[in-house]
Amino acid sequence: MTEIIDGNAVAADVRAAIADRVETLTDAGSRPGLATVLMSDDPASETYVSMKQRDCEEVGIEGIHIEVDPEAPADELYATIDELNDDDSVHGILVQLPVPDHVDEREVLRRIDPEKDVDGFHPENVGRLVAGHARFKPCTPHGVLKLLEAHDVETEGADAVIVGRSDIVGKPMANLLIQKAPQGNATVTVCHSRTEDLAAHTRNADIVIAAVGVPEFIDGSMIREGATVIDVGVNRIETDDGEGTELVGDVEYDSAADVAGAITPVPGGVGPMTRAMLLYNTVKAASLQTGVEIEL
């Protein structure tokens, strides 16, 4: 029987634990605050940000949302970040990516105070992660680790193959899985568009993590019997009847589920975990900045 890894259920547990920590911090006069900044009129980005704000509300985090006109000069976004850096009630800052072309994304990431960088994309935080003493683990790969942990998927000694080498998913995922402790100790292979014979790699894997951005790219023939399959992909495609759209992952779910030992669905797998880990990082940021100790 293939185990379906239920991201909604694990994320609900994470949120419940977070709500408890938020209460502790709030009682100590340090209610965590998360600022989201949107400089885009892309409907998907708008949806992501509003879901993040809703999550904040649910667990008691103070959500602040700022919109910057996508046509405005880059300096307006930089000034907004500077103000949030200086605001003691804001413990976490998230600038929804992508930003418009005339804005330097790397400058945006560098500009956020690394102690408030709850996405974990600031170069200082990337360096800390690679060095094995992460301050904030990026939300998506951190969420994947939590899912593996919640479903007792052993990473120690496992062959893990990650398909995708982006800065937000593939690379930090690899860095987390090769860490010695507390979770990790996997033997990690990172594949990408220049990988030769990708299927030979994925077929060898105990754990396959797909972060490709190509709908249903990995099918059952590329999976070893009993492997754990984590599908990070979120792709909106036309339905077969051409009358609407649906969300699919980077894994062809039915054929992969036939051979996998465990698999995440899309939607309802990694997505909710990404959102939950943002709340986790915000609470951690608030604790670090206020000195109110909580167990995480």
Helix intervals (H) in the chain: 7-27, 43-59, 74-86, 105-111, 123-131, 139-150, 170-178, 198-203, 253-259, 270-290
Q: Which stretch binds ligand NDP (CB under 6 A): 26-34, 87-95, 152-160, 269-277?
A: 269-277
Q: Which two tokens stand for residue 94?
A: 């998230």
The answer to the question of residue 173 lying near ligand NDP (CB under 6 A) is: no
User: What string marks each residue from 218 to 237 as x (binds ligand NDP by CB under 6 A) or -?
Assistant: --------------xxxx--
Q: Is 234 annotated as a binding residue?
A: yes
The reply to whether 52 belongs to the active site is yes
Per CB under 6 A, the segment of 34-42, 101-109, 112-120, 188-196 that binds ligand NDP is 188-196
Q: Cα 199 to the chain's mean position, in Å?
A: 25
Q: State how far the Cα of 276 lies from the Cα of 222, in Å rounded to an integer.
A: 30
166 marked among binding-site residues: yes
Does the footprint of ligand NDP cover residue 166 (CB under 6 A)? yes
Task: State the minimum distance, in angstroms, from the CB of residue 217 to ligand NDP.
Answer: 6
Distance CA 275, CA 267 (A): 13
In the three-class reduction of DSSP (H, G, I as helix; E, B as strand; rest coil), residue 34 is classed as strand
Torsion of CA 134, 26, 271, 80, to 10 degrees: -80
Q: Which residue is nearest to ligand NDP (CB)?
A: 166
* Annotated binding residue 261: no
Residue from 82, 85, 154, 213 binding ligand NDP (CB under 6 A): 213
Active site residue 96: yes
Whether 53 sits among the annotated catalytic residues: the reply is no
Q: Which of 179, 274, 282, 289 binds ligand NDP (CB under 6 A)?
A: 274
Q: Which of residues 20 and 105 has its CB atom nearest to ligand NDP in the complex? A: 105
Q: Is the dihedral of CA 125, 127, 133, 139 positive or negative?
A: positive
Half-sphere exposure of 290 (CA within 13 A, CB side): 26
Task: Please report, as ranges, the residues that interact with ligand NDP according to CB under 6 A.
Answer: 140, 163-166, 168-170, 191-195, 198, 211-214, 232-235, 250, 270-271, 274
Which residues are annotated as part of the binding site for NADP(+)?
164-166, 234
Residues belonging to the active site: 52, 96, 119
